[in-house]
């Protein structure tokens, strides 16, 4: 588990009592296993927020977890993330996005808007931005969205069948 | 896009970001060479807000915006230059062309009293106008299909709420009408919606009851014929509204020009 995921894990498990002190590390290990399986299957990783929302117990609690993340972040919300169309065939971007569970929704000469679900994560946006940056890198902006919507947007990349 | 409405500090930060990106001295940056796309991108960057462009006004987003904006008056949206696009619990997300305006935030929190926090997405004035035009057309279609009768949306009059002091004068969520069922019961005649400013002098007339009746018609009656609102209730509500309008107008006029 990388540092941003660890931060979000600790924040959410404490806030929503997803695990006790005794079971916390077991839950963290379970997340690591899930992410490893995702990586081996060459698909977008399971984000920590998604992992915690699945363990919330009820849809209401899952929404509450997302709302908590949104409320306690300085990032704005992006409602319907869609992959910037001209990046669909870009494997390098696809792999970076899948690794960090983040999707570029707007990538113009001047601006790169990315959608993620972990406000602690600066590695993901940085990785995508560096991959896209040319001689005059675009201004980066990060917004938050629901994990299932980000996953749908990530699936708009051309994935090997 | 006119830069006159952008606070100097934000504008300077945007130009500084552009200069750094171009690897030139900020003082040496020729601002005439900055086109609108680059300026909007820099503004989005320094404000940390995603940028909504005309291409982002998809059917699904327009539907989301229409649903939330249906609770508000389009005239107020145009005045304060925002359009609500999503609500998550206590967090309201809006598209705005002037997210730096604290009054707009207060107005939003007045409208959406369940919300305690506003998150913005930036849009250029042109893009926001496009969005507002769409909403206005949708509103016109709704009114046309509603037939002859016109029932205005209820007004956010809640004197006990500290936030309602900053509420813009015309609307509140129908879901909140239960909090003030008496307010929701006011029925105006067709075409009575827009003239907020024009109503102020009439409401402040020496005989407010008469002007209220003239403007709004007789108070609504319940099915059994008993009035839900007395003339005094209507007068009180209109005066509260007028006070808010006056205060907001003064507040806006009193701001130093940017």
Average pLDDT for chain A: 92
Provide the pLDDT confidence category of residue A151 given band limits of 50, 70 and 90.
Answer: very high
Q: Among B17, B50, B117, select the one facing A143 at the smallest CB separation.
A: B50
A75 CB contacts (<8 Å, ≥6 apart)? A119, A142, A143, A144, B48, B119
Which residues of B are less than 8 Å from A108 in CB distance? 37, 41
User: DSSP assignment, residue A137?
Assistant: P
Tell me which residue in A75, A76, A139 faces B45 most closely, judged by beta carbons.
Answer: A139
Q: Would you give per-residue pLDDT tens digits along chain B (258 residues)?
A: 677 888 999 999 999 999 999 888 888 888 888 899 999 999 999 999 999 999 998 888 888 888 888 878 888 888 889 999 999 999 999 999 999 988 888 888 888 888 999 999 999 999 999 999 988 887 777 777 765 554 445 444 343 344 433 333 333 333 333 333 333 333 333 323 333 333 333 333 334 343 333 344 444 444 555 566 766 677 778 777 877 787 777 777 665 444
**SS3 for A52?**
helix
What tokens does B88 get? 């998550």
Residues contacting B243, CB < 8 A, separation 6+ = none
Query: Looking at CA atoms only, how far is residue B80 from chain A in angstroms?
Result: 19
**CB contact (8 A) between residue B85 and residue A108:** no
Q: How distant is the Cα of B19 from the closest Cα of chain A, in angstroms?
A: 11
Q: Which domains does chain B have, with CATH numbers?
A: 8-47 (no CATH), 54-145 (3.30.300.160), 163-253 (no CATH)
Give chain B positions within 8 Å (CB) of A114.
none
Query: Which residues of chain A have a Cβ shorter than 8 Å from any chain B Cβ?
Result: 63-64, 66-67, 70-71, 74-80, 105-106, 108-111, 113, 136-141, 143
What is the tens place of the pLDDT at every residue in A89-145?
999 999 999 999 999 999 999 999 999 999 999 899 999 998 887 778 899 999 999
Backbone angles phi, psi at B227, to 5 degrees: -70, 135
ipTM above 0.85, yes or no: yes
Burial of B29 (0-12, 13-18, 19+ CB in 10 A): middle
Strands of the sheet containing B117-123, edge to edge, are B51-52, B117-123, B91-96, B82-88
Is the CB of B42 less than 8 angstroms away from the CB of A139?
yes
């Amino acid at each position: 588990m990388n540092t941003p995921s660890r931060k979000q894990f600790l924040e959410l498990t404490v806030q929503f009592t997803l695990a006790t002190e005794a079971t916390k590390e077991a839950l963290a290990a379970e997340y690591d296993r899930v992410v490893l399986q995702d990586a081996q299957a060459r698909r977008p990783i399971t984000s920590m927020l998604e992992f915690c929302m699945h363990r919330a117990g009820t849809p209401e609690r899952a929404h509450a977890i997302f709302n908590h993340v949104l409320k306690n972040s300085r990032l704005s919300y992006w409602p319907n993330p869609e992959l910037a169309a001209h990046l669909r065939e870009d494997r390098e971007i696809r792999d970076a996005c899948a690794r960090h569970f983040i999707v570029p929704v707007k990538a113009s000469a001047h601006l790169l808007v990315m959608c993620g679900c972990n406000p602690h994560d600066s590695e993901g946006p940085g990785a995508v931005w560096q991959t896209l940056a040319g001689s005059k890198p675009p201004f980066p902006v990060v917004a938050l969205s629901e994990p299932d919507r980000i996953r749908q947007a990530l699936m708009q990349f051309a994935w090997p069948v | 896009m006119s830069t006159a409405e952008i606070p100097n500090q934000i504008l300077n930060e945007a130009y500084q970001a552009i200069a750094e990106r171009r690897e030139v001295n900020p003082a040496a940056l020729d601002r005439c060479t900055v086109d609108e796309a680059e300026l909007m991108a820099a503004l989005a960057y320094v404000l940390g807000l995603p940028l909504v462009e005309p291409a982002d006004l998809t059917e699904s987003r327009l539907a989301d915006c229409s649903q939330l904006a249906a609770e508000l008056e389009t005239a107020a949206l145009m005045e304060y230059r925002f359009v609500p696009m999503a609500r998550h619990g206590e967090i309201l997300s809006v598209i705005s062309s002037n997210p730096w305006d604290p009054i707009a935030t207060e107005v939003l929190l007045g409208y959406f009293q369940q919300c305690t926090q506003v998150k913005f997405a930036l849009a250029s004035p042109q893009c926001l106008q496009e969005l507002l035009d769409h909403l206005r057309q949708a509103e016109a279609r709704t009114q046309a299909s509603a037939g002859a009768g016109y029932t205005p949306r209820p007004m956010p009059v809640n004197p006990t709420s500290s936030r309602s002091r900053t509420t813009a004068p015309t609307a509140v969520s129908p879901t909140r009408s239960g909090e003030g069922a008496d307010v929701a019961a006011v029925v105006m005649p067709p075409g009575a919606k827009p003239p907020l400013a024009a109503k102020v002098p009439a409401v402040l007339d020496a005989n407010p009851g008469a002007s209220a009746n003239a403007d709004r018609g007789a108070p609504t009656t319940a099915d059994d014929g008993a009035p839900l609102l007395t003339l005094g209730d209507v007068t009180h509500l209109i005066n509260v509204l007028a006070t808010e309008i006056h205060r907001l107008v003064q507040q806006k006029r009193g701001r130093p020009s940017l």
